């Protein structure tokens, strides 16, 4: 009798979980993700519900959301006295339609008078960063997702120690999960040298003050002396920090008013983590190259998916050619739809991915999109021999986007990211040269050959695509 009662209670609990999940999850989660969670809970309710409670909703603490809103308001107010630096695109152009959207989403106006150098040599880019730190006279601010305990991490720590010894005010923000090894190795040492070090989104016993455990700050920003800044995809680690996957990156080294805007992003993240308000210096005099630039910050603290909305819009607005470079391609329906419509409308859409991938589930999930894209005319190229970790985009001959944003759901919904938009044909031409170098060492994916892959492989790809929607 007891066994019958126990079985009945398990059956009732089983169905109660399913019914509650059906009524509750769609109210809190994106439709695609909700379908995936309901499918999992429908199969294994007693496992699916705890997983959803832990990872199902990308919540962030109210305090962080409030601080981000305050920081964004401060950014808008701080730009008001600098109206003379505003760049105004011509009406009816792609930039003319994109600029207002980016400004409303991320709070940053486009500014003229910048210098932009694209650095695609891994070691040379790091050497340039270290040289800039060594030349600092009053301030060094570094914000990075990953700092490894290797030769590069050691070199950066040494440079910060030298700067602090000269009286330079040094601050270092590192993601608590991505830079765990770097924080463990260098945090105490750097603090003893006078460097202010903080871990972002620390979790642990402090999780209620941060958010869901896998929300991360994925930005890579360095600001030195209010004069020069670096922004892009490159972390503070050796190119081979993932064995077997030597990274290839792209970083923009910038001068001009945009440096003050990158400083404002650092100050915002510093405020989110510490509650301390940093003074952001006014924008410096303009650079002779006169490149128009605009920042695109995004992340779960913002009310909208800034990165995803902007990239989808740029694809829709393109008139001739779009090139997208990313290591992780698991986009949402909006990005897939934009790429499909652009290609079918006659726009050349080129997707450049890495032939190797250090995340197997992601690799399977992105394969699930290839056939649909190839069938509508999107070109897909797989780059070898390095792991192409660069993240950038070019639109027609006028707009380049470079930063930390991957074309995946994680970057759009879970990570704090940064993108630099350059509205300048010269920067786009330099990015086209970088893209051409990728394509020279890449193999095009052929639709007919791709369709011949085994059925079991297609099934795995479909399952992986569903699993990536769990958020």
Residue 342 confidence (pLDDT) above 90: yes
> Smallest Cα–Cα separation from 411: which of 38, 145, 142?
145
Q: For residue range 395-414, what is the model confidence (pLDDT) as tens digits?
A: 999 999 999 999 998 899 88
Q: Which residue has the higher pLDDT, 45 or 417?
A: 417
- What distance, in Å, lies between the first and last C-alpha atoms of the chain? 41
Instruction: Tell me which residue has tokens 């980016």.
Output: 102
Q: Look at residue 463 in the predicted model and tell me its pLDDT.
A: 78
pLDDT tens digits, one per residue of 145-187: 999 999 999 999 999 999 999 999 999 999 999 999 999 999 9
144 phi-psi bin (left φ>0, alpha ψ -120 to 50, beta other): beta
**Over 70: is that where the pLDDT of 7 sits?**
no
Q: Give the confidence band of 459 by pLDDT, cuts at 50, 70, 90.
A: confident
Decide if pLDDT at 347 tops 70. yes
Q: Residue 409: its pLDDT value, please?
A: 87
Residue 378 has pLDDT above 90, yes or no: yes
Give whole-number Cα distances, 417 to 52, 122, 406, in Å.
Answer: 24, 21, 9
Flag whether pLDDT at 471 surpasses 50: no
What is the topology classification, in CATH, of domain 62-95+109-292?
Answer: Endonuclease; Chain A (3.30.870)
Instruction: Tell me what pLDDT residue 360 has.
Output: 82
Confidence (pLDDT) at 469: 55
Same fold, 62-95+109-292 and 306-467: yes
Q: Where are the domains of the chain?
A: 2-55, 62-95+109-292, 306-467
Of residues 239 and 358, more confidence is placed in 239
Q: Is pLDDT above 60 for 391?
A: yes
Choice among 192-196, 283-287, 308-312, 379-383 with the minimum mean pLDDT: 283-287
Query: Above 60 in pLDDT, residue 27?
Result: yes
Q: Is 406 exposed, middle or buried (0-12, 13-18, 19+ CB in 10 A)?
A: buried
Model pLDDT for residues 47-66, shown as the tens digit of each residue: 777 777 666 667 778 889 99
pTM of model > 0.85:
yes
d(CA 57, CA 44): 19
Give yes or no for residue 84 having a pLDDT over 70: yes
306-467 topology per CATH: Endonuclease; Chain A (3.30.870)
Higher-confidence position of 122 and 213: 122
- The more confidently predicted of residues 22 and 265 is 265
With bands split at pLDDT 50, 70 and 90, how would you rate the model's confidence at 243? Answer: confident
The answer to whether residues 391 and 403 touch, using CB atoms and an 8 Å cutoff, is: yes
């Amino acid at each position: 009798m007891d066994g019958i009662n126990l079985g009945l209670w398990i059956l009732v609990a089983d169905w109660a979980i399913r019914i509650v999940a059906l009524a509750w999850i769609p109210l809190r989660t994106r439709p695609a993700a909700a379908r995936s969670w309901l499918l999992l809970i429908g199969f294994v309710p007693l496992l699916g519900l705890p997983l959803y409670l832990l990872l199902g909703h990308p919540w962030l603490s109210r305090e962080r959301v409030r601080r981000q809103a305050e920081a964004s308001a401060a950014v808008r107010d701080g730009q008001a006295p600098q109206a003379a630096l505003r760049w105004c695109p011509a009406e009816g152009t792609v930039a003319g339609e994109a600029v207002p959207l980016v400004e409303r989403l991320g709070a940053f106006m486009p500014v003229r008078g910048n210098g932009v150098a694209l650095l695609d040599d891994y070691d040379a880019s790091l050497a340039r960063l270290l040289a800039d730190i060594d030349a600092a006279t009053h301030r060094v601010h570094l914000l990075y997702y990953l700092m490894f305990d290797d030769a590069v991490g050691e070199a950066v720590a040494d440079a910060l120690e030298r700067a602090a010894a000269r009286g330079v005010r040094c601050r270092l923000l590192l993601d608590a999960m991505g830079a765990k090894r770097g924080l463990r190795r260098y945090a105490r040492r750097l603090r003893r040298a006078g460097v202010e070090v903080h871990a972002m989104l620390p979790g642990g016993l402090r999780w209620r003050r941060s958010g869901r455990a896998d929300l991360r700050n994925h930005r890579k920003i360095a600001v030195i002396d209010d004069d020069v800044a670096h922004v892009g995809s490159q972390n503070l680690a050796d190119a081979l920090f993932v064995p077997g996957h030597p990274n290839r990156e792209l970083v923009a080294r910038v001068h001009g008013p945009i440096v003050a805007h990158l400083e404002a992003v650092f100050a915002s993240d510093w405020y989110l983590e510490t509650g301390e308000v940093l003074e952001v210096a006014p924008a410096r005099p303009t650079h002779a190259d006169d490149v128009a630039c605009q920042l695109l910050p995004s992340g779960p603290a913002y009310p909208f998916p800034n990165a995803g909305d902007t990239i989808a819009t740029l694809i829709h607005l393109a008139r001739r050619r779009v090139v997208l470079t990313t290591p992780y391609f698991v986009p949402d329906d909006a990005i897939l739809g934009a790429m499909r419509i652009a290609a079918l409308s006659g726009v050349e859409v080129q997707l450049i991915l890495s032939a190797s991938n250090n995340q197997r589930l992601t690799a399977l999930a992105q394969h699930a999109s290839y056939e649909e894209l190839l069938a509508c005319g999107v070109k897909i190229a797989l780059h070898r021999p390095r792991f192409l970790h660069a993240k950038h985009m070019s639109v027609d001959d006028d707009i380049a986007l470079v930063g930390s944003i991957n074309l995946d759901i994680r970057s759009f919904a879970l990570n704090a990211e940064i993108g630099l938009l350059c509205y300048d044909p010269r920067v786009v031409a330099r990015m086209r040269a970088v893209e051409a170098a990728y394509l020279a060492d890449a193999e095009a994916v052929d639709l007919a050959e791709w369709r011949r892959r085994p059925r079991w492989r297609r099934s795995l790809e479909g399952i992986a695509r569903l699993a990536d929607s769990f958020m």
